[in-house]
Amino acid sequence: MKGITIYGASSPAIDRQYLDAARRAGELLGEAGVDLICGGGRTGIMAAAIDGALSAGGTATGVLPAFMVERSWQHTGLTRMEVTPDMHSRKELMASLSRGVIAMPGGVGTLEELLEIITWRQLGLYQGNIVILNTGGYYDPLIAMLSRSIEQRFMNPDHATLWMVADTPEQAVALVLDTPVINRPFTQKIV
């Protein structure tokens, strides 16, 4: 059975609430017996999620490009580590190993991963659920921008079903694991 990918910041300087939410999400996946798939980093949200999964008896698969492994950026407790030649291959492999995604707060790398997986879902290239974990309202501006894209007809109204929003790790894990995936064919028509 495929795992669940968590996207999130590698920064160790972020507010504790984000690290606590990541650790809890990892714990919940570990308790559910679901492999955590992530960027495999040794700091920030990635490390907190890995620590949570492992503390609950779960597994954690880290996917890192070779240059990150050469710099020893990987978490040393990973159950499994996959090394890719570049960042694009990393994202592809993370998606192929997962049946759903939880996007936690992060910087441009996390935002890029989230928007790319939403695009892949829109195009039918990714079939899993996508959940935005909006800890402390972090993603409020992005959620508003996505809504504006629909209002301004850059996206179809049904594209709002490509992602779900959760306020807590418990909600995020429940949504990503328990919500039936509705696959829609790609349409270019903006209504």
Q: Which pLDDT does position 183 carry in this prediction?
A: 64
Confirm if 105 and 8 have CB atoms less than 8 A apart. Answer: yes
- pLDDT surpassing 80 at residue 1: no
Residue length of the chain: 191
Separation of alpha carbons 158 and 153, rounded Å: 11
Percentage of the chain exceeding pLDDT 90: 92
Q: Where are the domains of the chain?
A: 3-177
Q: What is the pTM of this model?
A: 0.93
Q: What CATH code would you report for 3-177?
A: 3.40.50.450
